[in-house]
A and B are shown apart, each in its own frame.
Chain A
């Protein structure tokens, strides 16, 4: 695989883009996902319906199709020029939010009723109860699901090659077509994905075990 040394800077640039899209995509998706979960739980029927349609769209169509739609329509509709990286990142955030909303809502529902009642009994407002009691528990519970979402999103970044974002898979594709060393190139690329994704998953696992809430036992 010595020939790859020559292309290492290109691979590295691609890798950095992949990591950026993954991290920012997951984090923006998390922020949006929390808002969507709260909106769905407390926002009333109209807001909840809009959120459901949103989620259906992003979960019910392929990511590549979403990338094409946004890449070719959004800059025209908004009348602004967007580079493919920005469009890609936005689609990843929107797409991830649709999935994360489901996880977060589920987690919030699992802590919701009794903890909310206990918080209200102290005089906290509903917003304070969500902020200080429901969310801190829901976000701990959601970490394993969230780490799956990270894993899936990290690999989906490969789809960005269809809108010409020079991320890791795009770089591999270019290199393999120049060198005709398809197997070695992609095997090396797969290794990079494998190492960084497992590393982050491991870190999330450690965090989860540090902050997880032990089940309450009423009897000693």
Chain B
């Protein structure tokens, strides 16, 4: 039995009158690759942010390797350093080079020496095939390259898990491939991941489990094969039909 890395129990998030998450429970074990998908506004991003404690849930608990993050007296900065996060809108630090982006957390959070940080950052950039771009600023790179720096930045911290919130959906279609390739490499190395994505071929290939969300709740969770052949819920069936049609047209 592998250990549980990240877990949420009965998570609720309410913004004013809007219920973004209703009673979501989820457990991610070491080496798991979970893929979350669903229509926009279904609460996927909110779930991702609550799991990473970038947003405080209204109710319910989040545990990182058994430690409750939603209680009082928790050093959330320490916890966040152990959870990698890749943003839909990329959000690189505009004033730093690719190297600077990856180094920042290593230097300031993990307190590495300059040489150590440089070496680790270079390794991460190499893993996303950007070692030749270390000295470039975000504005000098394509969207796909920027997002790979985003992945390297999260990866370099050697987190217990990486959460990716729609890492390809802000990119032009011709740039998604290189990012998907980088994710495939992560999967091959056994990285524990929660990926929000509608890249269905990728999902089918790497996900251990797919989780379909709608209106803030988990509607169905199953192996990819089940979703692709015979989803048990009507909503998932309709959504999958639309997605698969769209993928074929691409």
Contact = CB atoms under 8 A, between A and B. Distances in A.
A118 B91 contact: yes
Interface stretch (B13-21, B134-142, B185-193, B210-218): B134-142
Contacts of B52: 121
Question: Shortest 9 CB-CB distances between A and B: which pairs?
Answer: A123-B81, A220-B142, A214-B139, A122-B105, A121-B85, A118-B91, A123-B109, A218-B143, A213-B94
Contacts of A123: 77-82, 105, 109, 157
9 contacts: A122-B104, A122-B157, A123-B77, A123-B82, A125-B77, A137-B94, A213-B94, A217-B139, A219-B143
A133 interface: yes
A16 interface: no
Contacts of A219: 142-143, 171-172, 175
A215 B137 CA distance: 10
Contacts of A214: 94, 137, 139-140
A118 B94 contact: no
Interface residues on A, range: 20 to 34
**Residue of B83, B95, B137 most packed against chain A (CB within 10 A):** B95
B44 interface: no
Interface in B114-157: 137-140, 142-144, 146, 153-154, 157
Given A122-B105, A124-B109, A215-B139, A115 B93 contact: yes
A128 interface: yes
Interface in A121-176: 121-125, 128, 132-133, 136-137, 140
B8 to A, nearest CB: 17
B203 interface: no
Interface in B55-101: 77-85, 87, 89-95
A216 interface: yes
Given A117-B54, A137-B94, A218 B89 contact: yes
A219 B141 CA distance: 9
Interface residues of B, number: 38
Interface in A88-124: 111, 114-115, 117-124
B108 A216 contact: no
A117 to B, nearest CB: 6
Interface of A: 111, 114-115, 117-125, 128, 132-133, 136-137, 140, 213-220
Q: Most chain-A CB neighbours within 10 Å: which of B83, B91, B109?
A: B91
A136 B101 CA distance: 13
A155 B170 CA distance: 48
B54 A132 contact: no
Nearest to B153: A122
**Best-surrounded residue of A120, A122, A140, A214 (most CB of chain B within 10 A):** A122
B103 to A, nearest CB: 11
Contacts of B104: 119, 122, 124, 132-133
Contact of B175 (A117, A213, A220): A220
Given A123-B105, A218-B143, A218-B170, A118 B87 contact: yes
Contact of B143 (A125, A133, A215, A220): A220
Contacts of B85: 121
A123 B54 CA distance: 10
Nearest to B139: A214
Given A117-B54, A118-B87, A216 B94 contact: yes
A90 B94 CA distance: 36
A98 to B, nearest CB: 27
B36 to A, nearest CB: 18
Contact of A118 (B82, B93, B108): B93
A140 B83 CA distance: 31
A214 B144 CA distance: 18
